[in-house]
Chain A
């Protein structure tokens, strides 16, 4: 664990030098404790690091560091499984809503059915959220369907689009520009004030994609 100065009131805690699921899960346990810590005003988690911001008038680097080390000790007794949620995402996989489904199949010498089967056959870990509110960077996609980003991003990707970039997968929470390979669409809202914290997905969640038919997609409120 390494501490770096991020700004006058922020510390960056780095856990590891590569993206690694075990490291991410250790980091996540610390994050859950930091979220509840009154000394800390803001916690942001990414693949291998956490940024914490404290109130400069109420605390200082020394006190915050000491507290982080204490909480880190506590994480040793925490189990990841108890903390993490599993979220099932229904997806209508089809060339009708998956503009790059053919490309992903072709580049990997697979059939469209195989791509769908491989993508929906495992659960993914949410490593980080960024780029857009609620845009979850999930991994890892099976190398058999890993596909590089488009050469130039699309001007508009439709909300709910499920996409792949290399070995990562994500869902566009709202219409936006984007360069990931679109393979399907979910009827679920990714952002809503009805959710506890506005975003359906949070770092540390495990996500499973469930293939659905067009009829089911429309019934669940999906739009073509």
Chain B
């Protein structure tokens, strides 16, 4: 069978699809590609079915040697990639042959880049999904000497994304939010100032993004009974730090939640780093649904 031999595994390179559904009630998170926009484009360029397993490379520093022939593409944050020392573009398909070496440097902008092959990687499904879930030890990140299997494919079709469609990876984002959950338990002035502030990213992981507390925004002490968490939910901790919960979020939580960042903005958030900044912007549910539907109907 054809495969890539991993020479450098990088910091966190994981096989991902859209994620795992139907097990949150036993504490198993969705997981899946953090940036579904780049992930979906990668499959689309390769003419793969939606939800085909690809490799999510966080931070870069990745190298493979090919033991087969196929078509591949990279989509995501800005990074230098070399095919046998020849620099190649992201958002474009290339063919790779037996003996070729593919090298990915550290990302320059953004956090994650998706590496896909025609037909996707051949791997095993666990509880209905190919996704690795780090925290839950469901499957694992790539290691040196691992093999990434794929189906041999000699027909090459050059495809690329139009320049104007290539996402940008800025270090400031506006995140659109729908109010919900316990929002009525917060004071009106707390909600107002939450939407007026600029927040800086303190730390992040596949679980979510933690922002530094801004003095004087939240003062009320809200106690709730732990309830289930939705993708994109914004928790406010006791010290006033907002946490946006993403693909590997815990399934239930006891912090009050003000609402949720809409899914398509969660995907963009997944490309920000420590020190980058965001502003939360309130939008109407109707508008949020229309935006989300537009995205999903385009890719599904």
Contacts and interface: CB of A to CB of B under 8 A. Distances in A.
Interface string B216-256: 00000000011111111100000000000000001111000
Given A56-B296, A128-B252, A47 B226 contact: yes
B260 A8 contact: yes
Interface in A48-63: 48-51, 53, 56-57, 60-61
Contacts of B26: 129, 133-134, 197-199, 202
A57 B127 contact: no
B278 to A, nearest CB: 17
Contact of B252 (A19, A41, A46): A46
Interface residues of B, number: 41
Given A6-B180, A130-B27, A131-B27, A50 B292 contact: no
B28 A7 contact: no
Contacts of B262: 7-8
A210 interface: no
B215 interface: no
Contact of B181 (A6, A18, A41): A6
A135 interface: yes
Interface in A94-146: 128-135
A198 B227 contact: no
B282 interface: no
A203 interface: yes
A60 B285 CA distance: 12
Given A56-B296, A130-B252, A7 B230 contact: yes
Residue among B228, B251, B260 facing the most chain A CB atoms (10 A cut-off): B228
A12 B228 contact: yes
Interface in B258-286: 259-260, 262-263, 285
A12 B231 CA distance: 12
A5 interface: yes
Interface in B96-155: 127, 136-137
Contacts of B288: 8
Interface string A21-48: 0000000000100010000011111111
B293 interface: yes
A197 B23 contact: yes
A8 B136 contact: no
6 contacts: A6-B230, A6-B260, A7-B178, A10-B231, A46-B225, A57-B300
Interface of B: 21-28, 127, 136-137, 178-182, 225-233, 250-253, 259-260, 262-263, 285, 288-289, 292-293, 296-297, 300
Interface of A: 4-10, 12, 14, 17-19, 31, 35, 41-51, 53, 56-57, 60-61, 128-135, 174, 197-199, 202-203
7 tightest Cβ-Cβ pairs between the two chains A and B: A5-B180, A51-B228, A44-B228, A7-B260, A130-B252, A199-B26, A6-B230
